[in-house]
Amino acid sequence: MNTGKASLLILYTGGTIGMVQDPVTGALKPFRFDNILEEVPELKKFGYNLSSYAFDPPIDSSDMKPEVWIKMAEIIETNYSRFDGFIILHGTDTMAYSASALSFMLENLQKPVIFTGSQLPLGSLRTDGKENLISSVEIAAAVKNGKPVIPEVGIFFENSLYRGNRTSKNNVEDFNAFISGNYPTLAESGVHIRFNFSAVEYPEQDLPLIVHKNLDTRIAILKLFPGLNQSVVEAVIQAAGLRALIIETFGAGNAPSDTWFISCMKEAVDRGIIVINITQCLIGSVSMGTYETSRRLADAGVTGGSDMTLEAAVTKLMFLLGNYSDRETVKTLMKKSIRGEITD
């Protein structure tokens, strides 16, 4: 795969990968990313033009928020014509949310935006960070017939490249920390990097990048469990200013058949709240009407979220609510794939 003299921007937002151990105190501290080639000298062998930008101070993954997504998108927007691809170093806990958010915010994206990170600091002897970073750089630089091989937002972790809005973190112990339960990998790294071209979404037209910066966070998530209390559900749907509610249901989209629960969902819908049904399972899809319990949700006006991840559903709602005022338009688009987040 031809990579040429690619120009890439490495954006460090925070997270374990950007840490080194102080040899005296043993404490972890961020290293200077303008010295990235000193920390990872293997990158020099590629011969790429590598630039870096580091958030100061670095942002812990747990502190990630839409304002930071907007800053990431603006950095890409500002540097879009200067670089062939972008690597975003990010903490693992909310990486799938950030990758999903940017997939919706970056319309007409035609260059790779690859998120990666690590379970162990880059300065650790057993770190997985070097391999993740080196492979992400090689993937971001890869071209075929003069065009990027991966013109979309992805997550690379432990030998696999996933579509960003199809990914969830599912492991805090292993180096293989992510899963893409409903969509195949975009690439696999072994002796060679093997690209799954049929799984990549290629642009049909050469259109300019549009960066969407309006995100509406007036949403809530209600995870169902046996014994869920009516007063809790009522408190959630009555939250001031709430525009959308995601209910994490059982299996193929099933929920309690109690009259009070269905009534609460109907009340929310009647009040103009968009209610989206997402399964708690990491693999599989919501199928409204397959069982009586999900059919009653559909009758109450709940919208099925198909096989979207929770991370994709959350960020897609923020994006749609921030850009469309009409409730029916948002509901219609939540059921359609706009960035490859739903299986057609």
Q: Kind of pairing, strands 147-148 and 168-169?
A: unpaired
The two structure tokens encoding residue 231: 């007063």
Let me know: does 129 contact 16? Beta carbons within 8 Å: yes
Q: How many CB atoms lie within 10 A of CB 46?
A: 16
Let me know: does 290 contact 263? Beta carbons within 8 Å: no
Could you check whether the bond before residue 57 is cis, i.e. omega within 30 degrees of 0? yes
Distance between CA atoms of residues 263 and 79, nearest Å: 50
Distance of CA 175 to the CA centre of its chain: 18
Catalytic residue among 13, 16, 279, 293: 16
Asked whether the CA dihedral 160, 164, 166, 172 is positive or negative, the reply is positive
Q: What residue has token string 């709602």? A: 317
Let me know: does 132 contact 344? Beta carbons within 8 Å: no
The two structure tokens encoding residue 36: 């990235």
**Annotation marks residue 127 as catalytic:** no
Distance of CA 221 to the CA centre of its chain: 17
Q: Where in the sequence numbering do the catalytic residues fall?
A: 16
